[in-house]
């Protein structure tokens, strides 16, 4: 890098970085701050950043007005099943596209890439009608079963790229030793692909946990609602109860932030692995 670049330009650089960093972080502080306030502190100008008294009872109030634990249970069921289905089926399919040779492979891979561009609205209505005919409305099946069938074009693509990077000799050697394809997949490829599988699992978690349109269409009973859907109904009922809305949003955010800090590496990797080639 250019060593003659002045001290000033690096001061400006760090100043700009810091300003943006603060701008991005302020809303998080604001959620926490609002969630601990009473109405008399919320509706004040200029806003109070640190409330004079922390109203932890706002969180208790959220639990009283909204069946948080029920929604949480539903969200966990849907998210976990989607993660299992997507990691399992996308790795299997990616193995077929990356390692195995079979007629029609390249043509079908082209179809797979094309489906990434397809707006889900085009398939949404007939799929809804189909699930209605199956009698699956107000169950988790419409959200979970498709996850086991393919696991999404993006995930298959990501895992295929990863499998292609594993030296062919490893699978070939196992084949010569009489290892079946399924055992090569399960005992050799899956352990090697752990980082990529972790990426897919975490991205799936992020998506399912926040998914809104799916639950909105398929789950109309309150007992089946997920956290995202429950929160959106809560918004409709609690106008101007900002402390409660921020407290409930924060409850939904905590797992996301925790996962992000623990598994940041895999999330970043997921983007760099797929997005760079163009």
Partner 1 sequence: MLGFVFASPWIIGFLVFGLYPMVMSFYFSMCRYDVLRIPQFIGLGNYDTLLLRDPYFWTAVGNTLYYTFVRTPLCIAGSLFLAILINRATTGARIYRTVFFLPSIITGVVVSVLWLWLLNPQYGLINSTLQLIGIEGPLWLQSPEWSKPSLVLMSLWSIGGGRMIVFLAALQSVPPHLYEVVELDGGGAWQKFRHVTLPMISPVLFLWVVLEVIFSLQVFTEAYVMTKGGPLNSTLFYNLYLYYKAFDDFDMGYASALAWLLLLFSVLVTFVQFRLGKRWVYYEADPRG
From the list 60-68, 74-82, 94-102, 167-175, the region that binds partner 1 by CB under 8 A is: 94-102
Number of residues located near partner 1, criterion CB under 8 A: 90
Single out the residue of 55, 71, 54 nearest to residue 63, CA to CA.
Answer: 71
**Is 222 a residue that touches partner 1 (CB under 8 A)?**
no
Q: Candidates 17-25, 62-70, 74-82, 171-179 — which segment interacts with partner 1 by CB under 8 A?
A: 17-25
Of positions 3, 7, 101, 168, contacts partner 1 by CB under 8 A: 101
**Interface with partner 1, residue 178, by CB under 8 A:** no
Neighbours of 77 (CB within 10 A): 15
Burial level of 203, CB count in 10 A (0-12/13-18/19+)?
A: buried
Q: Measured from the CB atom, is 80 or 186 closer to partner 1? A: 186
Nearest to 148 by CA among 140, 157, 160: 140
Q: Cα–Cα distance between 221 and 249 in angstroms, integer?
A: 21
Task: Say whether residue 148 binds partner 1 (CB under 8 A).
Answer: yes
Report d(CA 71, CA 99) in Å as an integer.
41
Q: Does 100 bind partner 1 (CB under 8 A)?
A: yes
| Interface residue with partner 1, options 143, 156, 158, 201 (CB under 8 A) | 156
Binding mask 111-130 for partner 1 (x = CB under 8 A): xx--x-xxxxxxxxxxxxxx
Contact, 91 vs 192, CB < 8 A?
A: no
> Cis peptide leading into 46, omega within 30 of 0?
yes
- Any contact of residue 235 with partner 1 (CB under 8 A)? yes
- Contact of 148 with 89, CB cutoff 8 Å: yes
Contacting partner 1 within 55-84 (CB under 8 A): none
x-or-dash string of contact with partner 1, 242-261, rule CB under 8 A: x--xx--x--xx--xx--x-
Contact pick of 201, 211, 224, 225 for partner 1 (by CB under 8 A) = 211
Output the six-digit token pair for 12: 């400006």
């Amino acid at each position: 890098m250019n060593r003659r670049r002045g001290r000033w330009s690096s001061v400006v650089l760090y100043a700009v970085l810091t300003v943006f960093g603060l701008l991005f972080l302020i809303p998080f502080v604001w959620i926490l701050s609002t969630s601990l306030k009473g109405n008399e502190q919320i509706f004040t100008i200029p806003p109070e950043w640190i409330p004079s008294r922390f109203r932890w009872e706002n969180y208790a109030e959220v639990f009283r007005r909204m069946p948080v634990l029920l929604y949480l249970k539903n969200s966990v069921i849907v998210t976990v099943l989607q993660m299992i289905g997507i990691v399992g089926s996308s790795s299997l399919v990616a193995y077929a596209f990356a390692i195995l040779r079979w007629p029609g492979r390249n043509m079908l891979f082209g179809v797979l890439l094309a489906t990434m561009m397809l707006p889900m609205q085009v398939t949404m209505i007939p799929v809804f009608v189909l699930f209605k005919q199956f009698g699956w409305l107000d169950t988790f099946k419409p959200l979970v079963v498709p996850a086991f069938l393919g696991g999404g074009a993006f995930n298959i693509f990501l895992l295929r790229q990863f499998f292609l990077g594993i030296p062919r000799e490893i699978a070939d050697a196992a084949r010569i030793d009489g290892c079946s394809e399924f055992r090569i997949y399960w005992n050799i490829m899956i352990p090697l692909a752990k980082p990529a599988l972790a990426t897919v699992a975490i991205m799936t978690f992020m998506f399912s946990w926040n998914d809104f349109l799916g639950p909105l269409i398929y789950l109309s009973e309150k007992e089946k609602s997920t956290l995202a859907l429950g929160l959106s109904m809560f918004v409709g009922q609690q106008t101007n109860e900002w402390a409660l809305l921020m407290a409930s949003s924060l409850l939904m955010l905590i797992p996301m932030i925790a996962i992000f800090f623990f598994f940041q590496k895999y999330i970043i990797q997921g983007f760099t692995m797929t997005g760079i080639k163009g």
